[in-house]
Chains A and B, each alone.
Chain A
Amino acid sequence: MKILYFAWIKKSLQISEETINPPKNIKNVKSLIQWMSLKSKKHKEVFLKIKSIRIAINHEVVDINKKIKKNDEIAFFPPFTGG
């Protein structure tokens, strides 16, 4: 599973992407975030701000209850400010 980070999230974590292999009981975005929060202090601090983070799975914006699959590309980012 590929995880991508953008904007201030990338800056806080100091990485733009990582490949993870979560356990089988991690079935949706919410449980993935809880599991990833245990990875490091930086991850925990970032995911505490989950209300200001948006999520996309395979380039589609999803909510926190969306189910995840092994080969998904999951991106975490703040609201968009382009245009």
Chain B
Amino acid sequence: MIKIQKKNFSLSEVNKKLLKKNSGAIVTFIGIVRGEKKTKKIQSIYIECYLKMAEKELKKVEMIANKKWKLNNCIIIHRYGKIRPEEKIVYVATSAEHRKNAFKACEFIIDYLKTKAPFWKIEKINSKEIYVQSKKKDEKKIKKWGSII
């Protein structure tokens, strides 16, 4: 299941959807807005999104992960619009028969989202809005997955 939405969501509600009879492991990753950046207070962030392309990319990464790691369930939720500190930005959950596959798949999905999904963050600090720069380490991480993509 993939979702791209403005609204915040309840963790307990989405976690419930992961339980399946043959699942022995559930791994979740939750990305949240930091309250500070180098001691400067972050007032809020704004996430811009290319919606049609983002839907395609999230479906693509879900399909790759399901196939590669034989997942029982996979949930990806990415928010856009204005998001306040300590609120959730992204939620990735994978369930599988064994933990190794669930961990690997979850790590792959978040690495993929960082570099392949069309979202852009703007941080509001001291009433100034600044576009967040992409990180080279994220590019290196996705290259490690090589032929999977």
Contacts and interface: CB of A to CB of B under 8 A. Distances in A.
Interface residues of B, number: 26
B134 A4 contact: no
Interface string B29-64: 001000000000000000111101100100000000
Nearest to B114: A83
Contact of B48 (A6, A56, A59, A83): A6
Contacts of A78: 120, 131, 134
Interface bracket on A: 10 to 19
Interface string A40-83: 00000000000000001001000000000000000101111111
B134 A7 contact: no
A8 interface: yes
A75 B47 CA distance: 17
A54 to B, nearest CB: 9
A82 B131 contact: no
B135 to A, nearest CB: 8
Nearest to A4: B50
B3 interface: no
B115 interface: yes
B131 A80 contact: no
A82 B117 contact: yes
A82 B78 CA distance: 9
Interface in B100-149: 110, 113-121, 131-134, 138
A7 B129 CA distance: 12
A59 B60 CA distance: 12
A83 B92 CA distance: 10
A73 B112 CA distance: 23
A83 B113 contact: yes
A43 B47 CA distance: 24
Nearest to B90: A83
Given A82-B78, A83-B89, A83-B113, 7 more contacts: A6-B120, A80-B116, A80-B117, A81-B120, A82-B119, A83-B90, A83-B138
